[in-house]
Structure 1
Amino acid sequence: MAWRGHLSRNLKEIRFLFCQTSPASSQTREFVQRNYKDLKTLNPKFPILIRECNGVQPQLWARYDMGVERGIPLEGLTEAQINKALQDLVQLGASLKA
């Protein structure tokens, strides 16, 4: 999982959006609780934003250079699938720089 240390190289920020109480957001909440510390330790100055809002569908947004953003809906995804979605966004950032 070396890609986790490359967040700050390939992205400008990531945002997790989810509801604090809805079952649809439960996997996203668990992913953030289990992985935030590791991601922040590997990327200490990189902005990892957590946005909780009642009734919002879980989403992951990545912002790249020049204001380009990509979002992925996370509803129904497992923790492993959310991890893969984040990895895909990081890889996309690397390809945008090439």
Structure 2
Amino acid sequence: MSSSWRPLLQKNLKELRIHLSQTRPGSQGTREFILKEYAALKAANPTFPILVREAHDVDARAFARYAFGQERKVSLENLSEAEVASRIQSLAESRPSSTER
């Protein structure tokens, strides 16, 4: 997967939050994504808040906060590491409309 989208995090988003379970099989791809990609994401966006929250028995998901308090949530449950990266990339590349909440 191309890394050209990584700088878009801080350009288009205000914050990225990732929730996952430490033990549930449905969070495996998200755990692998964090292990493989977190350092590169932070290197490309050193001041951008990327929050990773682990909790017992939660569904894996990501929340993107955009300007004016707009948020989008995507499920990461039962996805592979590459599919998780694709979902995060789509959040980074999108810009919600001014009427979207």
Aligned length: 96
More helix by share: 1
1:39 to 35, 38, 41: 41
State the percentage of identical aligned residues: 43
Q: Give unmatched runs, 5+ long, in structure 2.
A: none
Instruction: Tell me the TM-score normalized by structure 2.
Output: 0.89
- Structure-1 separation of matches of 2:24 and 2:5: 30
* Large movers: runs of 4+ above 3 Å: none
- Output the amino acid matched with 1:23: P
Q: Give unmatched runs, 5+ long, in structure 1.
A: none
Look up the match of 2:12.
Answer: 10
- Structure-2 separation of matches of 1:72 and 1:90: 12
Look up the match of 2:74.
Answer: 72
Instruction: Tell me the TM-score normalized by structure 1.
Output: 0.92
What secondary structure, in the 3-state scheme, does the structure 2 residue paired with 1:77 have?
coil
- Structure-2 separation of matches of 1:51 and 1:32: 11
Look up the match of 1:27.
Answer: 29
- Structure-1 separation of matches of 2:18 and 2:11: 19
